Structure 1
Amino acid sequence: MNKIKVPHLLGLIIAGAVIGPNGFNLMERDSGIILSGTAGLLYIMFLAGLEIDLEDFKRNRTKSLIFGFYTFAIPMLLGICAGFYLLNFSMITSVLLASMFASHTLITYPIIRKAGITGNRAVNISVGGTMVTDILALLILAVIVGLTKGEVNIFFWLRLGFSTLVFGFIVLFIFPVVGRWFLERWEDSVSQYIFVLASVFLGAFLAELAGIEGIIGAFLAGISLNRLISRTSPLMNRIEFVGNAIFIPSFLIGIGMLINYKVFFKDIETFKVAAVMITVATGAKFLAAWLTQKSFKFSVDERRIIFGLSNAQAAATLAAVVIGYNIILGTGKNGEPVRLLDENVLNGTILMILVTCTMASFSAQKGARNIALLSSGKQVSGKNV
């Protein structure tokens, strides 16, 4: 992929499609692949929190909130209209579909890391905005699941609010204290890495326990250890190496294994649903990135980075479509179950993931390369002076 100037992330996704059950069937997408893929996703979110510049994050928090609002509200509005008027879905199905468009995954973050521009303001704003839109999108998912089960009441909101506060306090205030104590007393490299890995998974577990997605816990675990792990330390080197060599590729290969090209030759309705989903999701994310660029007077390359980081649909989207597909609302005329999200949406989601990840990868790579070249040019110019 690098030889033909295609983002290497796509190579891993394509590899998964080729060797997976819908390709040459060399590997099954079994529990081992799913587990390692989940670990890879958590690892990406953890690295985003670990490497973010907290001072810049604080300075740009208002901009992150504004971008988070853009990248949540625009896909929600367009998604609801598209689902209700174009695809003739019910309102509750349209809202769930729109929440899938609103959420996104930092799947292209490794491209940004490789370019060495994780401190760029567009990256900081994108990472912060990701947390805003993903939390809101996953909250909508939790509410819709509760509505279908008849569980949304005052107790539901009190329980969710209390558990989220407790979870946030433990990860953001207790994790750093324990982390400082451990890292100061144990200098063994293996022990330190195991502690970091345990923190990632414990943060994800506590998030799930609180009723929100584990990716939020992994990101906050990264923020909690941010000041304790130097970017030039041997521990940071080990964290990056294991993530890039094992966990992140496993996640991308697992995504590729979901791709089933055969379904698109069986039912034209799948094409229609997929086309609407791809057009609305991509258009809404681009509009959010464009508005952010105009609002804060960013460059075109910074807009490319924002779009590249926010357009890729994967983790939260998969969670929503699987949960929606498994919710059975009743029985149809032929005795078949009526699902909240039908098989066409399930298959359309897989195609949407492939297309959005491809577009996001190219956009992030181009923006990151241009900004890195501009930055290195300024440094050379400064040295010459």
Structure 2
Amino acid sequence: MIFAAELSFKLPWENPVLIFSSILFIILFAPILLNKIKIPQLIGLILAGAAIGPNGINLLQRDSSVILFGTVGLLYIMFLAGLEIDLGDFKKNSGKSMIFGMYTFLIPMGLGTVAGIYILNFSIPTSILLASMFASHTLIAYPIISKMGVIKNKAVSVAVGGTLITDTLALLVLAVVVGMSAGEVTGGFWVKLVISIIVFAGIIIFLFPILGRWFFKRNDDNISQYIFVLALVFLGAFLAEAAGIEAIIGAFLAGLALNRLVPHTSPLMNRIEFVGNALFIPFFLIGVGMLIDFRVFYMDKETIFVAIVMTVVATLSKFLAAYFTQKTFKFSRAQRDVIFGLSNAQAAATLAAVLVGYKVIVGETETGEPIRLLGDSILNGTILMILVTCTIASIVAQRGAAKLALEEGETESSDTEKDNETEERILIPVNYPENIEELIHLGVTIKSKTSKNSLYALNIVPSDSSDESKEKFAKKLLEKASVSAAATDNKLTELIRYDSNLVNGITNVVRENKVTDIILGLHKQHGLSDTFLGKLTEGILSKSNITAFIYQSHQPLNTVGRYIIVVPANAEKEMGFVFWLLRVWNIGRNTGCKLIFYGDEETLKYIQQVQKKFSIEAGFVEFSDWEDFLIISRDLKENDALIVVLSRKNGTSYNPVMNKIPKYLNRYFGKNNYILIYPMQFDLEEIGRHNYLGTSIFNPLSVGGQDFTSFSNSVSKLFKKK
């Protein structure tokens, strides 16, 4: 037993429990205290690290544990940047990212080299290496952008894509300069470097998604999935180092590779973000702060001069890159601020470069002291540059993100106030514990992202039964549904209905709660009935005109590669066209999967015009003969999911062949996920309930057949609500 008298409180603290608890309290209170004086959270943690570190009050040492957790935090930042990026938008803006990447690499390289040679009087190799430090940057401000909810903005995608380009080029410059200084740059050096990079990138980009899909299909344990993802991140980082480049590039590529396997609305994504933002990333920021030595401000004039030149050149060059990007692509000032804020912070790659350059000895002085490629003044100046650039980056990024969020908010219609009559409400009847999680995940995927309270779970208990076990079982099912929703940061409303008739019970709940969409799950072993959908589902469809989704899951939602959407002719003339299209669009936005629409030429035209407005990866295939429906199976791959848009019998797009769909699905599509969608029908009694997204109910014939402007405006309003 250890008594208080036996504990050591001498500085620096050595007790691991005391060290860890101290860091946790710093993570908790430093941002809160400094936010009151308008200092961003990230800077608060860096300053706190400087205050408690070996160059401050020496409360804690920057030992191996801090370095380890800090390394994890650094890789986490890059991994999250790759994971959260919208791949559709990333591909769409890849050209812009390339141009920004070259701006933010070439401008700092040019200004930095000139400043090193003519202002600081450094040698050419030292000046080039110094310039490469200015060219690289770290996405320190990315968590700020993420919290502001503007990571989908085009400027963010351009900045993140440009980061990959400039960091890779800067780190290649580091490898070449160091190699030249050591006399290692030969023909074999270049061949080895190129081959190793190609092999490394190929393994991550092509092999990681295959491994991830294989693992997620066979293991649904939440902890195992998280550990698996983390293991791949560090494996990717190690492969990058083995290829001769920095680990942060491997972590970023791992994020891109796993992007579609970790949907933004999934519980796994919620856990990844939570652990990183709560623990690992703050550890990294505190570790960076521990490197700062404020004494150099008044002890070493050379260091101060070098630090001022480095900071001014780095900041000016990054601003010029953001400015030219703004003018090239006609971005707003807020978007320019976000790009500048994301690209100005010098930390990860800069630290790597200066530490590597500091270790390289290129000669000796007359007194026998080593001459380093990057000397002491550059090492200390780099630490001060990191503090200043991170401060500027955080403040500017926060300001720009706030403006962007405000601009995006102002694009919504003025009547955005929602009451109980205008909210979306998605009802999910739960009957089988085996498919509850998948039903909830589908509900979270199709709903509007900003709506956190739109999910309702329902279980019907026979009113003529006196068996209490049925009520207890119903409560357990609803509790499991609530837990699944909570894991995605959504609140679910539990409903128990006592009714002797299942159809009446569900349809009455739909009316009483003004439900807008319903998701009906099929038991994996039961599937669809050959007598179409069965009495329960057919009864619900006949007595309720809301948008209905009938879902059969054969593999986890996050392992689906593509969605094949079969749309009937005249679907655009249905009143519910806009609403089911929004839900399908949400699937593409939230999962990153490609959407392939099959339909006749006229219907596809409407969908294509919508697709042009948004960064959803979509394809279009003409298909009009539903008698030849089985031809779809030729295009359906193992990890594809099928979405079939049907119609009730009184619908404009109804086709008698639709009655054969259940038989086809059971016989030929039994290994694929599928969703049957029944669009909202036009019903005067239901108009008030379905005017829930701020759009007026319009004449479906006018919207679908004659007036696309009305339809386009309605779709735009729907998406702006997101």
**TM range, smaller chain:** over 0.9
- Correspondence for 2:592: none
Aligned counterpart, 2:190: 157
Assess if the C-alpha contact under 8 Å between 2:225 and 2:268 holds in 1.
yes
Q: Deviations over 1:138-188 (max 9, x none)?
A: 000000111111111111111111111111111000100110110111110
Deviation of the 1:27 alpha carbon = 0.5
Matched residue of 1:236: which SS? helix
Residue in 1 aligned with 2:402?
369
| Aligned with residue 383 of structure 2, among 350, 357, 365 | 350
What is the correspondence of 1:304-323 to structure 2 with a 5 Å cutoff?
304-323=337-356
Show the 5 A alignment for 1:260-339. 260-339=293-372
| SS of residue paired to 1:227 | helix
1:114 is aligned to 2:109:
no
Quick one: distance in 1 between partners of 2:366 and 2:120? 20
Contact 2:108 2:313 in 1 (8 A): yes
- Greater fraction strand: 2
Aligned-partner Cα distance in 1 for 2:216–2:363: 54
SS at match of 2:260: coil
Between the aligned partners of 2:362 and 2:214, the Cα distance in structure 1 is 51
Task: For 1:267 and 1:321, locate their aligned partners in 2 and report how far apart those are by CA, in whole Å.
Answer: 19
Deviates more, 1:29-38 or 1:328-337: 328-337
Structure 1: give runs of 5+ residues left out of the alignment. Answer: none
Partner Cα separation in structure 2 for residue 112 and residue 325 of structure 1: 33
TM-score by length of 1: 0.98
> Gaps spanning 5+ residues in structure 2: where?
1-33, 417-693, 696-722
Query: What displacement does 1:7 show?
Result: 1.1
Name the SS of the counterpart of 1:381 in structure 2: coil
**Residue 64 of structure 1: aligned partner:** 97
Match of 1:171 among 199, 204, 208: 204
Find the counterpart in structure 2 of residue 76 from structure 1: 109
CA contact (8 A) 2:296 2:304 kept: no
Please list, as runs of the form range in 1=range in 2, the aligned pairs for 1:1-385 lying within 5 A after superposition.
1-381=34-414, 383=416
Say which SS state the counterpart of residue 106 (structure 1) adopts: coil
The SS at the match of 1:88 is: coil
Cα deviation, residue 6, structure 1: 2.1
Shift of 1:377: 2.8
In 1, Cα distance between the equivalents of 2:118 and 2:298? 25
Cα offset for 1:379?
A: 3.0
In the alignment, residue 375 of structure 2 is paired with which amino acid? D
Structure 1 counterpart SS, 2:363: strand
Alpha-carbon distance between aligned partners in 2 of 1:343 and 1:292, rounded to the nearest angstrom = 35
> Using the alignment, how far apart are the partners of 1:379 and 1:116 within structure 2?
15
Q: What is the distance in 2 between the residues matched to 1:360 and 1:62?
A: 24
* Aligned counterparts of 1:364 and 1:32: Cα–Cα separation in 2: 30
| Partner SS state of residue 357, structure 1 | helix
Give the counterpart letter for 2:86 in structure 1.
Answer: D
Check the 8 A contact 2:137/2:349 in 1, yes or no: yes
Cα deviations across residues 237-265 of structure 1 (Å, max 9, x unaligned)? 11011001111000000000000011222
Please list the CA deviations of residues 112-132 of structure 1 after superposition, one character each: whole Å capped at 9, or x if unmatched. 110011110000000000011
Relative contact order (alpha carbons < 8 A, sep ≥ 6): 1 or 2 greater? 1
Q: 2:199 and 2:216 mapped to 1: Cα distance?
A: 24
User: Normalising to structure 2: TM-score of the pair?
Assistant: 0.53
Counterpart Cα distance in 1 of 2:95 and 2:193: 25
Tell me how far apart the structure 2 counterparts of residues 6 and 116 of structure 1 sit (CA, whole Å): 20
Structure 2: distance between partners of 1:276 and 1:133? 21
The amino acid across from 1:25 in the alignment is: N
User: Partners in 2 of 1:381 and 1:96 — Cα distance?
Assistant: 53
SS of residue paired to 1:261? coil
Q: For the Cα contact (< 8 Å) 2:262–2:268, is it kept in 1? A: yes
Which residue identity is paired with 1:106?
A: L
Q: Quote the offset at 1:66 in angstroms.
A: 0.3
Residue 382 of structure 1 and its aligned partner are, at CA, apart by 6.6
Aligned match of 2:602:
none
- The amino acid of 2:110's aligned partner reads L
Partner Cα distance (1:235, 1:135) in 2:
29
Shift of 1:205: 0.4
1:223 to partner: Cα distance: 0.6
CA separation of 1:382/1:159 partners in 2, compared to 1, >3 Å: closer, same or farther?
A: farther
What's the Cα RMSD here?
1.0
- The verdict on how the C-alpha distance between 1:241 and 1:380 changes in structure 2, with shifts beyond 3 A counting, is farther
- SS of equivalent residue, structure 2 residue 35: coil
In the aligned structure 1, how far is the partner of 2:79 from the partner of 2:300? 39
Residues of 2 paired with 1:230 and 1:158: CA distance?
A: 38
Task: State the alpha-carbon separation in 2 of the partners of residues 3 and 86 from structure 1.
Answer: 40
Aligned partners of 1:379 and 1:238: how far apart in 2? 31
